[in-house]
Structure 1
Amino acid sequence: MRTDFEELSFVIPGYTPETIPLNRLIEYLQQMAVVLGDPENLHLVAIETGSVSPVLHAPKAVALEARERARRVARGDGTRKQVDAYNRIRRMVRRDARELGTPALLRSATAVLLEIPAASDDSGVLSGVRQATSVDGQLIRVGGAGDDAALQVQDLQGKILSGFTAKRGMAKDLAAHLWEPVRLHGIGLWERTGDGQWLLERMQVQSFEPIEDEDANLVLERLRSLNIAWPEDALDRLLAERQQP
């Protein structure tokens, strides 16, 4: 191995190279690539025998940054995407190797960099649920290279939301509405956690509309003036719908 490169190995429990399905191996590697970042400079050079241990080859500088990202995830202060990927691996380990009681490991030649134990419980967990989705918020970032631009939105409660993408033409139109309230429409990818909470993981924005930034009291007065027979449980119904994808 060249001295300006480093090897990191990812030990996946529950399989051997002969028994792991290709799509499962790819799924593990995709999530680990999110944890480590900079996948363009991480290269799969071997899969060690005995257990499934993909060996990743990276320039020293890239490996150093990957080590630091792994340390942050281990401390619980990685980015949302990194922590989500880490937790996905935990659920995969639970399904694939719970009875073994052994974690997945990210290792260098001399040390364990990240230990990924099986999740305690994935009952009720669903992931990859595609659903037509609308999100209201203030657009605070449009950027990135490639055909899909990355968007960042601050929702009505002040929470920063990432994972939104849009084609270049759409992103160009959206850029004219930076720091303005908008309603984004598109296809969302949702996940339901073990406690029944629905989380929006990603969303491909297909259309949008500006939202008038009106005084809340004026909006309420207009609503009250409408001749509508609201059901007694209207608020409960609205809140229930907002908790579902």
Structure 2
Amino acid sequence: MNKSIKKYTFKIKGFTPDQLPFDRLVEYYAEIKKMLDVAEHLYLVGVFEGSHASSFSIDPIYESKLTRRLDAIRHGTAPANACRAHDTINKMLQEDGTSGALFGEQGQNVLQFPGKQADTGTQMQIRDVATITGELYYLAASESDVKVRVKTGTYGAVYCSTTREIATGLKDFLFNNVKVNGRGLWTKTSSGEWRVDEFVITDFAPVQTENLRATINRIRELELSWPKDPLNDIREVEEKGGQIH
């Protein structure tokens, strides 16, 4: 290999190539692609044993672009999609019960992924029943349960688990919005943010979505009797102290 070509190595602690399922490894690669934004110039050149290690080479022309992106991720100034990918890798490592890191050419630690070790900044944890609503975008069976992921507006991607029976029903709503009920573990970090570390789905319901016109038409079909000036009627009620005569 040309000496001017730099290599980076992504290591997952505690796994060997024959222990990490291929589809899971591909998921990690997909997030690395989003995070680094130079995928078309990044090449897989080796997979090594010990801690699972994937070595990538970068086209020298784009080395400076990659370096700037890595600096931005470390300082929290990278684009939102890159930061989300970095967080997703951390969550995946938490789910897999391990940690990881991206190393440079000389073996220096370029990016740390604490994974399961990320709870050092934890201030509070609460376990309670709850309902989460979002897009169901992932289902994968394991030996003991089924892994589920729901994309929410409040918590981002929530990593869940459930039984095969419930997952059989959920599969009909893949890539649709669902409301899942269950018991979860919320963690408040030192930064004051809340994250969902665990969520076991006990039941679910599909979420019906419709546009504004459809909603208006549905209300019209109810044939409700509306006052001619509802705002004036509300003002009159307020003037009378909330009494209706």
TM-score normalised by length of structure 2: 0.49
Larger-gyration structure (1/2): 2
TM-score calculated relative to the size of structure 1: 0.49
